[in-house]
């Protein structure tokens, strides 16, 4: 999109063709300003280079690219995380999984986050609970690079493993396993809408019925959990009953689901007996 040099910060906030919040985010990003800077510098005029840079950002957003990828950041559980298109954009829904894990994690417990992506879950838990011994794995080296950078930026010690689900774990056991695996069924219309079009397919869909990754994790987790340890899984809006049935079939106790802020059953879990 062409933006004229000489336009002011204040005028552009009203004139850009995105929603007001996104206008502000892209203006801050293009000009290196804080939110407060947008107000105190509302009369500042953009030079030609700034106008061109802002125009390029707005064009990317108009083409559908997620705002989190354009600015390379997303906040999760109060932490500013780096994101690239190698990782799923952390969602507020997933903060429920973090809260449930924190409520159940014993002092000094060993936690494993499977399919960590940006590292959001592992880093949020480790940041809140420095006593926890946090491990996180992913099948994507590109995702692990992002996760490692996030852990370092927040000084959270996380042990990262390159592993396709349980593949690289040998006989190791944990006091809790959490995962937000790919759970969208292949062919689901959501995959071709909105932000999801730009996110890594391997983080979104199992290329099957949406339950394939959840099934693999439930089937394999018992061999990697201590007795009495929780397995907590995020899943799709209509998968709670099926995930509870999987957990029950594998002998988990206290099998239950929890609702997210939209009152949708979003996380299910149980205790390995």
* Residues of this chain that bind ligand GLN (CB under 6 A): 88, 91, 93, 180-184, 196, 204
For residue 38, how many other CB atoms are within 10 A of its CB? Answer: 19
Sign of CA dihedral 90, 93, 97, 99: positive
Residue 232 and residue 177 in contact, taking contact as beta carbons nearer than 8 Å? yes
CB of 261 to ligand GLN, least distance (A): 13
Distance CA 162, CA 29 (A): 33
* 203/225 with CB nearer ligand GLN: 203
- By beta-carbon proximity to ligand GLN, the closer residue of 105 and 179 is 179
Shortest CB 136 distance to ligand GLN, Å: 15
Q: What phi, psi does 71 have (nearest 5°)? A: -90, -10
Assess contact for 257 and 240: CB atoms under 8 A.
yes
- Nearer to ligand GLN by Cβ, of 143 and 184: the residue is 184
CB of 109 to ligand GLN, least distance (A): 24
Q: Minimum distance from CB of 17 to ligand GLN (Å)?
A: 25
**What burial class does residue 107 get, using C-beta atoms within 10 Å of its C-beta: 0-12 exposed, 13-18 middle, 19+ buried?**
exposed
Between residues 3 and 83, which has the closer beta carbon with respect to ligand GLN? 83
């Amino acid at each position: 999109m062409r933006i004229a040099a000489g336009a002011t910060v204040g005028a552009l906030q009203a004139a850009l063709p995105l929603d007001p919040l996104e206008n502000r985010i892209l203006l801050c990003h293009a000009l290196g300003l804080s939110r407060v800077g947008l107000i105190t510098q509302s009369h500042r005029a953009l030079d030609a280079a700034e106008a061109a840079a802002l125009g390029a950002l707005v064009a990317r957003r108009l083409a559908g690219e997620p705002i989190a990828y354009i600015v390379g950041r997303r906040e999760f559980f109060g932490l500013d995380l780096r994101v690239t298109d190698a990782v799923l954009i952390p969602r507020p829904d997933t903060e429920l999984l973090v809260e449930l894990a924190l409520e159940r994690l014993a002092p000094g417990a060993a936690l494993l986050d499977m399919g960590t992506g940006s590292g959001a879950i592992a880093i949020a838990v480790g940041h809140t609970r420095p006593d926890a011994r946090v491990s996180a794995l992913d099948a994507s080296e590109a995702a692990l690079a992002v996760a490692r950078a996030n852990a370092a930026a927040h000084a959270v010690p996380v042990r990262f493993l390159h592993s396709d689900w349980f593949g690289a774990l040998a006989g190791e056991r944990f006091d809790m396993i959490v995962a937000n695996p790919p759970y969208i069924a292949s062919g689901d219309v959501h995959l071709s809408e909105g932000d999801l079009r730009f996110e890594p397919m391997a983080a979104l869909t199992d290329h099957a019925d949406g339950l394939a990754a959840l099934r693999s994790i439930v089937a394999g987790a018992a061999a990697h959990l201590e007795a009495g340890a929780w397995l907590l899984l995020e899943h799709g809006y209509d998968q709670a009953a099926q995930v509870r049935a999987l957990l029950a079939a594998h002998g988990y106790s206290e099998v239950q689901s929890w609702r997210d802020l939209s009152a949708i059953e979003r996380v299910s879990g149980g205790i390995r007996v």
